[in-house]
Amino acid sequence: MAEYANVIVDISLEKLDKTFQYRIPERLSGVIGVGMPVTVPFGARRMRGYVVELTDTAEYDPEKMKEILSVEERGIAIESQLIALAAWMKKNYGGTMNHALKTVMPIKQKKKSVERRTVCLALQPSEAEKKLAEYERKHSTARARLLSELLKEGELEWSLVTQKLNVAGTAVKAMEADGVVRIVSETKYRNPVERFMPREGIKELNEEQQKAVCSVTEDYDAGIRGTYLLKGVTGSGKTEVYMALIAHVLEQGRQAIVLIPEIALTYQTVLRFYSRFGSRVSIMNSRLSPGEKYDQFERAKKGDIDIMIGPRSALFTPFPDLGIIIIDEEHEPSYKSETLPRYHARETAIRRAKMAGASVVLGSATPSVESYYRAMRGEYRLLELRRRVLEKPLPVCEIIDLREELFRGNRSILSDRLSELMEDRLRKGEQTMLFLNRRGMSGFVSCRACGHVIKCPHCDVSLSQHGGAQEGRLVCHYCGYEEPVPKTCPACGSRYISGFKAGTQKIELIVKQRFPGARVLRMDMDTTRSKEGHEQILSAFANREADILIGTQMIVKGHDFPDVTLVGVLAADLSLNVGDYRAPERTFQLLTQAAGRAGRGERPGNVVIQTYTPEHYSIVTAKEQDYEAFYRQEIEYRRLLRYPPVWNLLLILVTSAEEAAAARAAEALADKIKSGGNLLPIGPADAPVAKISDIYRKVIYIKTEDYRTLVEVKDVLEDDIRENGLFKEVSVQFDFNPL
Ligand code: ADP
Ligand code: ZN
Ligand code: ZN
């Protein structure tokens, strides 16, 4: 039994890391647990606090330590549940309790956040152009400046206008009086969806949907809370199933959380929930400030809302009586946190649901291999939707071998077949999507004579080419380092140095050359940097303002484009050759999703997958849209090579500004693991990116069948790190089943 308890006395304060230690009196020993509300002496007063940790290590003289007075009896508040969840996260994913607490509880801001004001254009663009000319004639330079910026952006934040653009507030108001602009203020507590449309009728579910809903609700009504995997091809009506389940839970006075990858959190999706559930819905996205997030959470706690939709962090919405958690597109890598604690939203959701007595529904057209594996083993219950709702046929998919293309003398990134189909679509006035399954980055530059690759001097990664061929620059995606594209190879002096594989910009150029009349849109990291860029490009394309949309994986989610009848995957190999055991899975998912974009309207679609490895199983099975066939091969490969989900993997990352210190510490950790007996560490070795911003990175991997063994190893190493002087200059992080 632990002797001491670390207690936070006020969770609304900024400093969650400020804990106070108290002795656990005999009579409470064994009763007290993490998360419990307790009463403690604090100065001359008594205060309510929460236990965040139990320990046998006294932080100061135990003689002087005060005792916990009592455990609060009146029910376990939602805070307790979240603190207990934080403790579980710390235990299972590493990091500190403070990191974990900050993840589950948004911090109240002391400063009252000011009202947000924006300035919007109130004129049609053509009228605005005229007005602009008038301002310029009259030398109203400030007003001209604002107007020309608004013509580009549509709306601007008030602070941006008055500070960066240096336009006086009085001038903006005068422009408003003149009908040129509108000043819009948004009150802080405004529900972000309130301005949306009123309710529409509820769709009658088809037989398959009904069956899926019943499987969950029958369990639910019998008091069984399970985890369900809803596998349904795109367009099979999964969202309708989610909504029916939510309605069921709401009827019983409980609440629902819906997780959606940020990238798929579009107006269209949100609208569907809002039109069904009205103002009981709230939305969270990463653009909310910590203060706004806090406000949203307060509304949830007070019972103003029942449904929270958002990315990963919405999982911690403090609903007092949570009934269901839905994770849409459950296979998305964005559900794994990239910062401490490196939790996976799926596992954490299942844990939270268990504490709250809620069910979990995971939905996907291409479930993660992990989830499908668990469903096959009976840990999750599998529910399937096999048909598209409106019986639209799946598109016709063909594979083009780029090696043959080259052999026939076609050196273009567009195969003859793809060009032919694109031309056909342009003629018919139908739309095409070209998909580059590279992860947002443009190509690296290498020498064709000697193979030399240009790398960042600080980060040991290849630099990526941006801008046109002449004035192009090389940029590091980790630290931002830049240099001009060299004219000759720095290693051998050859002039044959160039972008090895085309990025989206390059493809845009090639497409424009090949189809001069076509209207082309491009979507990638560069064109979506501005706040609403992503949404703007997609709606422009949906509104038929372009014939061809070129983009990275960002374009395969969210919007429905009924006029897209051709999808081209330019080089399927780009996501296949990334040196990661999940590459085939990721490739299968991306290809299947990309293919799913074709032919969603009345006309059937075509899909062309270009590749250098047409025989690879992830490509063949994606062409057939055959998930089971993919899974069978993939799980064999994982089993054979001892990868998750069959085995479990722990990555230990050791970083330091001193390479020798990192190396020494990594060696010491590896020795410690070996001395434990039955585990064999892999490494230490340089991380795939061995250096970022001059910080050296070493890695150790451990593989074992049993996840708990890994947690135990982490616990032992954490103790060792705390006590051992070797770790003063280094930082050690744990990552379970890393992505
Ligand atoms: P998924 O989430 O599986 O991709 P959606 O729930 O978005 O599928 O459904 C695809 C389309 O079919 C949507 O436009 C939706 O409104 C419509 N739909 C879904 N279920 C039904 C139904 N039972 N009856 C009529 N239309 C439906
Ligand atoms: Zn060279
Ligand atoms: Zn760099």
Q: How far apart are CA 575 and CA 556, in angstroms?
A: 14
Which CATH number belongs to the domain containing residue 280 in this structure?
3.40.50.300
What is residue 240's DSSP assignment? H
Residue 328 CA: nearest ligand 1 atom is 2
Buried b (16+ CB within 10 A) or exposed e, 396-433: ebebbebeebeeeeeeebbbeebbebbeebbeeebbbb
Residues 132 and 10 in one domain: no
Q: How far apart are CA 617 and CA 281, in angstroms?
A: 42
Residue 665 lies in a domain: yes
Give residue 411 CA to ligand 2 midpoint distance, Å: 22
Domain count, the chain: 5
Q: Name the residue with the closest Cα to ligand 1, atom 22.
A: 205
Residue 196 lies in a domain: no
Query: Which ligand number lies closest to the CA of residue 242?
Result: 1
Query: Which ligand number lies closest to the CA of residue 692?
Result: 3
Give residue 474 CA to ligand 2 midpoint distance, Å: 17
Pairing of strands 255-259, 307-310: parallel
Q: How far apart are CA 295 and CA 106, in angstroms?
A: 9
Residue span of the structural domain in which 150 resides = 114-188
**Is there a contact between 341 and 734 (Cβ–Cβ < 8 Å)?**
no
Give residue 475 CA to ligand 3 midpoint distance, Å: 8
**Is there a contact between 629 and 621 (Cβ–Cβ < 8 Å)?**
yes
The closest alpha carbon to 254, from 200, 211, 217, 291, belongs to 217
The 3-class secondary structure across 583-634, one letter per residue, is: HHHHHHHHHHHHHHCCCCCCCCCEEEEEECCCCCHHHHHHHHCCHHHHHHHH
DSSP lists the bridge partners of residue 322 as 255
Residue 461 lies in a domain: no
Q: Which of 138, 160, 188 is the last residue before a domain boundary?
A: 188
Q: Name the residue with the closest Cα to ligand 1, atom 19.
A: 237
Q: How far apart are CA 710 and CA 87, in angstroms?
A: 17
Give residue 233 CA to ligand 3 midpoint distance, Å: 40
Number of Cβ within 10 Å of residue 121's Cβ equals 22
Question: In which residue ranges of the chain is pLDDT below 50?
Answer: 13, 111, 113, 187-198, 440-442, 469-470, 500
Q: How far apart are CA 734 and CA 738, in angstroms?
A: 9
Q: How far apart are CA 462 and CA 60, in angstroms?
A: 50
Give residue 340 CA to ligand 3 midpoint distance, Å: 22
Q: Which three-class secondary structure state does DSSP give residue 527?
A: coil
Residues 524 and 600 in one domain: yes
On the question of a cis peptide bond just before residue 198, with omega within 30 degrees of 0, the verdict is no
What residues sit around ligand 3, an ion, with C-beta below 5 angstroms?
456, 458-459, 476, 478-479, 481
Query: Which ligand number lies closest to the CA of residue 495?
Result: 2
Residue 465 lies in a domain: no
Q: Name the residue with the closest Cα to ligand 1, atom 9.
A: 237
Give residue 273 CA to ligand 1 midpoint distance, Å: 13
Number of Cβ within 10 Å of residue 72's Cβ equals 15
Q: Name the residue with the closest Cα to ligand 1, atom 15.
A: 237
Residue 640 burial by CB count (10 A; 0-12/13-18/19+): exposed, middle or buried? exposed
CA dihedral over 121, 124, 127, 128, signed as positive or negative? positive
Cα–Cα distances in angstroms (integers) from residue 393 to residues 234, 350, 388, 397, 724, in the given order: 12, 35, 8, 12, 63
On the question of a cis peptide bond just before residue 684, with omega within 30 degrees of 0, the verdict is yes
Q: Name the residue with the closest Cα to ligand 1, atom 18.
A: 237
Residues 400 and 385 in one domain: no
Ligand 1 pocket mutation, candidates 236, 239, 364, criterion most atoms within 8 A of CB: 239
DSSP E strands: which ranges in 103-169?
116-121, 155-157
Residue 365 CA: nearest ligand 1 atom is 3
Q: Which of 608, 637, 666 is the last residue before a domain boundary?
A: 637
Residue 703 lies in a domain: yes
| Per-residue model confidence (pLDDT) at position 16 | 57
Residues 260 and 147 in one domain: no
Residue 234 CA: nearest ligand 1 atom is 4
**Is there a contact between 686 and 700 (Cβ–Cβ < 8 Å)?**
no
Buried b (16+ CB within 10 A) or exposed e, 540-578: ebbeeebbbbbbbbbbbbbbebebbbbbbbbbbbbbbee
Q: How far apart are CA 451 and CA 216, in angstroms?
A: 56
Query: Which ligand number lies closest to the CA of residue 493?
Result: 2
Q: Which residues line ligand 1 (CB under 6 A)?
A: 203-206, 209, 232, 234-240, 389
Residues 230 and 373 in one domain: yes
Query: Which ligand number lies closest to the CA of residue 483?
Result: 3
Q: Name the residue with the closest Cα to ligand 1, atom 23.
A: 205
Residue 233 CA: nearest ligand 1 atom is 3
Residue 209 CA: nearest ligand 1 atom is 23
Residue 240 CA: nearest ligand 1 atom is 6
Give residue 526 CA to ligand 3 midpoint distance, Å: 18
Residue 451 lies in a domain: no
Give residue 209 CA to ligand 1 midpoint distance, Å: 10
Q: Name the residue with the closest Cα to ligand 1, atom 11.
A: 235
Q: How far apart are CA 273 and CA 277, in angstroms?
A: 6
Give residue 370 CA to ligand 3 midpoint distance, Å: 33
- For the chain, helix, strand, coil in percent to 5 are 40, 25, 40
Give residue 213 CA to ligand 1 midpoint distance, Å: 14
Residue 454 lies in a domain: no
Q: How far apart are CA 569 and CA 607, in angstroms?
A: 8
Give residue 500 CA to ligand 2 midpoint distance, Å: 13
Give residue 475 CA to ligand 2 midpoint distance, Å: 19
CA dihedral over 481, 554, 330, 284, signed as positive or negative? positive
Residues 40 and 184 in one domain: no
Query: Which ligand number lies closest to the CA of residue 455?
Result: 3
Residue 389 CA: nearest ligand 1 atom is 12
Quick one: which H or E segment has residue 241?
helix 238-251
Q: How far is CA 131 from the centre of its chain?
A: 42
Residue 205 CA: nearest ligand 1 atom is 23
Which CATH number belongs to the domain containing residue 18 in this structure?
3.40.1440.60
What is residue 344's DSSP assignment? B
Q: How far apart are CA 584 and CA 604, in angstroms?
A: 27
Give residue 256 CA to ligand 1 midpoint distance, Å: 20
Q: How far apart are CA 234 and CA 600, in angstroms?
A: 10
Q: Name the residue with the closest Cα to ligand 1, atom 17.
A: 237
pLDDT, tens digit, for every residue of 281-336? 888 877 777 777 888 888 898 888 999 999 999 999 999 999 999 999 999 988 99
Q: How far apart are CA 683 and CA 4, in angstroms?
A: 38
Ligand 1 pocket mutation, candidates 230, 366, 389, 597, criterion most atoms within 8 A of CB: 389
Q: How far apart are CA 240 and CA 385, in angstroms?
A: 12
What is residue 112's DSSP assignment? P
* Residue 734, Ramachandran bin (φ over 0: left; ψ between -120 and 50: alpha; else beta): beta
Residues 593 and 691 in one domain: no
**Is there a contact between 361 and 242 (Cβ–Cβ < 8 Å)?**
yes
| Per-residue model confidence (pLDDT) at position 102 | 82
Q: How far apart are CA 614 and CA 728, in angstroms?
A: 51
Q: How far apart are CA 583 and CA 572, in angstroms?
A: 11
Query: Which ligand number lies closest to the CA of residue 460?
Result: 3
Residue linked to tokens 């990291």: 525
Q: How far apart are CA 91 and CA 335, in angstroms?
A: 19
DSSP code string of 405-457: HHHTT--SSS-HHHHHHHHHHHHHT-EEEEE--S-S---BEEETTT--B-B-T
Residue 204 CA: nearest ligand 1 atom is 23
Residues 8 and 88 in one domain: yes
Pairing of strands 396-401, 606-611: parallel
| Per-residue model confidence (pLDDT) at position 440 | 38
- Rounded to 5°, the CA angle 395-243-384 comes to 45
Give residue 205 CA to ligand 1 midpoint distance, Å: 9
Specify the pTM: 0.76
Give residue 201 CA to ligand 2 midpoint distance, Å: 65
Residues 660 and 631 in one domain: no
Distance separating the N- and C-terminal Cα atoms of the chain: 37
Quick one: which H or E segment has residue 52?
strand 45-55
Query: Which ligand number lies closest to the CA of residue 459?
Result: 3
Residues 285 and 372 in one domain: yes
Ligand 1 pocket mutation, candidates 209, 234, 240, 242, criterion most atoms within 8 A of CB: 240
Residues 383 and 396 in one domain: no
Query: Which pair of tokens denotes residue 647?
Result: 């085995």
Query: Which ligand number lies closest to the CA of residue 464?
Result: 3
Residue 487 lies in a domain: no
Give residue 686 CA to ligand 3 midpoint distance, Å: 16
Residue 560 CA: nearest ligand 1 atom is 14
The closest alpha carbon to 230, from 349, 334, 367, 322, belongs to 367
The 3-class secondary structure across 195-236, one letter per residue, is: CCCCCCCCCCCCHHHHHHHHHHHHHHHCCCCCEEEEEECCCC
Residue 385 CA: nearest ligand 1 atom is 3
Q: Which of 46, 76, 104 is the last residue before a domain boundary?
A: 104
Residues 573 and 631 in one domain: yes
